[in-house]
A and B are shown apart, each in its own frame.
Chain A
Amino acid sequence: MCKENIIKTRDFGEIIIKEEYIIKFVNGMYGFEDYKDYVLLMDEPEDEVMFLQSLNDMNLSFILIDPYVVFNDYNPILNEEELEELKVKGEAELKYLAIAIINENIKDSVVNLKSPIAINPKLKIAKQVILQNSYPLRCGIISSVEGKKC
Chain B
Amino acid sequence: MLVVKRKIGESILIGDNIEIIISEISQDKVQIAINAPKEIIITRKELVETCEFNKLASENVDKICLRDIKSQLNSIKRK
Contacts and interface: CB of A to CB of B under 8 A. Distances in A.
Contact of B50 (A30, A103, A104, A141): A30
A56 to B, nearest CB: 13
Nearest to A57: B58
A48 B46 CA distance: 26
A87 B55 CA distance: 28
Interface residues of B, number: 26
Interface string A100-144: 111110100100101100000000000010100000011001100
B50 A137 contact: yes
B44 interface: yes
Contacts of B68: 106
B4 to A, nearest CB: 23
A103 B65 contact: yes
A62 interface: yes
A138 B60 CA distance: 19
Contacts, number: 85
Given A102-B62, A104-B65, A63 B57 contact: yes
B55 A31 contact: yes
A51 to B, nearest CB: 9
Interface residues of A, number: 34
Interface in B41-78: 44, 46-47, 49-58, 60-62, 65-66, 68-70, 72-74, 76-77
B72 A104 contact: no
B51 A30 contact: yes
A48 B74 contact: yes
Nearest to A112: B53
Interface of B: 44, 46-47, 49-58, 60-62, 65-66, 68-70, 72-74, 76-77
Interface of A: 10, 29-32, 43, 47-49, 60-63, 65, 69, 99-104, 106, 109, 112, 114-115, 128, 130, 137-138, 141-142, 145-146
